[in-house]
Structure 1
Amino acid sequence: MTTRDEILTAIRDHRPASRELPQVPDFRTAADDLIGLFAAALARLDGKTITQPPADLQQWLSQTFPDASRICSAVPETSGTSTPADFTDWAAPADLDVTVVRTPLGVAETGSILVTEKELGVNTVAVLAQHLVVLLDPADLVENIHLAYRHPSFQDATYAVLLSGPSGSADIGGVTVHPAQGVTTLTVILSPREREMA
C-alpha cells in the first residue's frame, strides 16, 4: 500500500458521522404590502416601479423612449424590432436601446427581479441594452431573499441573476453614480400575466 492510499484509508476510517444540516428559517415578517415594500426598495437603487400597467404597452414604450430605434422584446405583450432569437452570440445585443422581459420572481425586501436563460434567450440582452423594462406579476412577489432562493426558477435555471435597479458605483466619499455600467434605467411594470383557462 502506498503512502497516498494509507492517508486516504485513514481519512475514510476516521471521518465523522454525517448529520443533517440545520434548518434555515425564512425570516418571514408580518409585511402585508409587498408592492409598497418592493417599490420603495427599488427606488432606493434608482429603479422605477409602475404599479398600474399601461393600457397600450407599445405606445408607452414609444412615449417613454422616443429615441429608441432598437427594441428587443422577449414577451408576447409587445413587439420590438427584434427578439432574443435574432441574436447569434452574446455580443450581438450590444447596441440595443431597450429590452423588455418578464420576470418569474420579484423580491420585495431588495427590490430585485430574477431573470434566467429561460426569459432572456441570450443572457446579455438584460445588461447590454440602455434601458431594461421588466414585467412583473404582483402574484410573483415574495417577501425576502430567503424565500426567493427557494423559488423553482432558481432550481431549474442554468443561468440566474437578481437585478436591483441600474448599476451604480460609490466612491470612498459615498457618492453613488448611476449608471456605472450596464443598463441606464430599470423600470418594473406590475403586470399580471395571462392565466391559462382550466
Structure 2
Amino acid sequence: MTTRERILNSIQANQPSLLPLPEQFTFTSSFPDLTKQFSDSLAFVGGMAVVVPDHKTIEAHLKEHYPGMTSVASTCPELAHLADRGLDVADPHELASLNLTIIEGPLAVAENAAIWVDERQLPHRVVPMITQYLAIIIRQSTIVPNMHDAYKKLKVNETGFGTFISGPSKTADIEQSLVIGAHGARSLIVYVLP
C-alpha cells in the first residue's frame, strides 16, 4: 500500500457522523433602530443617508448638492421633472454620459446598508454602475435587519436580474489607497422616506 492510499484510507475510516442540515438557517439581529443602523452602516461604507419627510425635501436636497447638474435621469415618478434625459435607449452605451440617476429601492438591509434593486427599477442593468452620482429612495418600512431577512423577502423568479448596492464604488490597492468611484458611482445618497 502506498503512502497516498494509507492517507486516503485513514481519512475515509475517520469520517465524522453525518448530521441533519438545519431546516431553517438564519441569524437573528436585534437592532433597536433599523433606520439608524442602516444610516451608520451606509456612512461606514462611504455613502450618506438622509431621512426626509417627502419628495419635495428630496428635490431640495438634490438641487443643493448637485446645482445645475445636467444629464440627470430618474425612474421615480415624483421626481421625473428633474430629469433632462431618459433611460429608454436601445444601446446601454448611450448612457455613458449619465451624471446623476435617481432610482427607488424596494428593500434595504440595516446590517450592511445594502439596497436591492432589480429590473423593475432599472431599464438597463448598467445604470447604477455607469452613472457618476447615484441617489436611491427607500422607505423605512422596507429596512430589514440582515441579509437572511432580505433573502426571505426576495422573489428573484418574479423580478429577474437584481443586485444589492451598498455605498459608492470602492477599490483599494496593496498600498492601501482607497479610491471611491473607480468602477461605478462616485457617491451614493440614500433618501429614507417614512
TM-score interval for Structure 1 and Structure 2 normalised by the shorter chain: 0.7 to 0.9
Q: Which aligned pairs between 1:24-103 and structure 2 lie closer than 5 A? A: 24-53=24-53, 55-79=56-80, 80-84=83-87, 86-103=88-105
Q: Distance in 1 between matches of 2:169 and 2:152?
A: 25
Give the count of matched residue pairs: 172
Q: Which aligned pairs between 1:38-187 and structure 2 lie closer than 5 A? A: 38-53=38-53, 55-79=56-80, 80-84=83-87, 86-187=88-189
8 A Cα contact 2:30 2:145, kept in partner:
no
Q: Distance in 2 between matches of 1:153 and 1:87?
A: 27
Which amino acid in 2 is paired with 1:83? G
Shift of 1:82: 2.5
Which amino acid in 2 is paired with 1:50? V
Q: Distance in 1 between matches of 2:157 and 2:112?
A: 20
1:143-186 CA deviation, whole Å, 9 max, x = no partner?
00111111234342221110111111122243322122210101
| Change in CA separation of 1:89 and 1:40 when aligned onto 2, cut-off 3 Å | same
| Change in CA separation of 1:71 and 1:53 when aligned onto 2, cut-off 3 Å | farther
Runs of 4+ that moved beyond 4 A: none
Residue 5 of structure 1 is matched in structure 2 by: none
Instruction: Tell me the TM-score normalised to structure 1 length.
Output: 0.79
| Change in CA separation of 1:78 and 1:56 when aligned onto 2, cut-off 3 Å | same
Q: Distance in 1 between matches of 2:148 and 2:136?
A: 22
Partner SS for 1:119: coil
Q: Which aligned pairs between 1:2-21 and structure 2 lie closer than 5 A? A: none
Residue 23 of structure 2 is matched in structure 1 by: 23
Residue range with higher mean Cα deviation, 108-117 or 174-183: 174-183
Cα RMSD (Å): 1.8
Instruction: Tell me the TM-score normalised to structure 2 length.
Output: 0.81
Of all paired residues, the percent bearing the same amino acid is: 29
| Change in CA separation of 1:120 and 1:113 when aligned onto 2, cut-off 3 Å | same
Q: Distance in 2 between matches of 1:146 and 1:155?
A: 18
Q: Distance in 2 between matches of 1:53 and 1:161?
A: 27
Shift of 1:58: 3.1
Partner SS for 1:120: coil
8 A Cα contact 2:29 2:146, kept in partner:
no
8 A Cα contact 1:57 1:77, kept in partner:
no
Q: Gaps (5+ residues) in structure 2?
A: 1-19
Partner SS for 1:99: strand
| Change in CA separation of 1:136 and 1:83 when aligned onto 2, cut-off 3 Å | same
Residue range with higher mean Cα deviation, 165-174 or 104-113: 165-174
